[in-house]
Amino acid sequence: MQQICAFRSCGAPLPKGAASRGIRLCTLCRDVLTARLASLPGLYLACEQSLEVPRQHPIRMMRGRRPSGIRLDEVAAAVRSDTVRVLSSWCELVIEERGVTGLGSLDVKALTAFLQAHLDWLVGHAVAADFAEEIVALAADAERALNPTRVRTIDLGPCAEHGCGGRVRASIGAGGQGAVPQVRCDSGHDWPPRRWLDLRRLNAPVAGMPAERSTS
């Protein structure tokens, strides 16, 4: 029976006997996971910086209280909290099941480096799909927190990557007026402008990204 990628929205076929060799994710999904995991320390730091009040914008004192230097941004704060929680929980799984030495802190860089060191083991684990999906979702949540501009999402049809069962969507407005649309499928496969022609051939017209089948 043909093995398929464990990432639930992918479905790409794996090489014969892949599971017995510890392979549960296709090459594309493994690459996406690797990139998203590596991006988390930078996104975490960016969320921290977004909570800081810019010094060049003085804040009027209220009722004699000094400003704390932090503005309430529940989304960015929640993303930071979720990042530490999710990464530490996966580190705990590795520590418990592999019998390795635990980490001495909850520093996101250290947590990420630890998971990167055990990535081959994690993607071969029975919960590889859960791990991949949580990491990809964390990165996506952080990016949305850092770019809260109202975004229009357009469904472009099925992903043209071989064996991928995800839907490709264009996010228009994420980078401000005139910005190039961000095009990505549910599985995390990116579609830069140079590859839009591939989507045009397979799906609906792409124009400056298409204006059909809006989902929001």
Distance separating alpha carbons of residues 114 and 80, to the nearest angstrom: 18
Which range among 149-158, 180-189, 202-211 has the greatest average pLDDT?
180-189
Res 99: pLDDT: 92
Sheet holding 152-158, edge to edge: 152-158, 167-172, 182-185
Percent of the chain beyond pLDDT 90?
Answer: 29
Residue type at 74 in one-letter notation: E
Cβ partners under 8 Å of residue 129, min gap 6: 6, 7, 8, 24, 25
145 versus 63: the higher-pLDDT residue is 145
Task: Report CA 70 to chain centroid distance, whole Å.
Answer: 26
With a CB cutoff of 8 Å and minimum separation 6, the contacts of 6 are: 24, 25, 128, 129, 132
pLDDT at 195 exceeding the cut of 50: yes
49 vs 46: CA distance, rounded Å: 5
In terms of pLDDT, which residue wins out, 204 or 13? 13
- Alpha carbon separation from 26 to 35, 75, 194, 197 (Å, rounded): 14, 32, 23, 24
Q: pLDDT category, 202, cuts 50, 70, 90? A: low
* Least confident span in 84-98, 106-120, 201-215: 201-215
Q: Report yes or no: 215 and 167 within 8 Å, Cβ to Cβ.
A: no
Tens-digit pLDDT profile for residues 7-44 = 877 778 887 777 667 788 888 888 999 999 999 999 99
Q: How many residues does the chain have?
A: 216
Q: What is the DSSP letter of 190?
A: B
Phi-psi region at 19: left, alpha or beta (left = phi > 0; alpha = psi -120 to 50): alpha
pLDDT per position as a tens digit, 64-112: 444 444 444 677 888 899 999 999 999 999 999 999 988 888 899 999 9
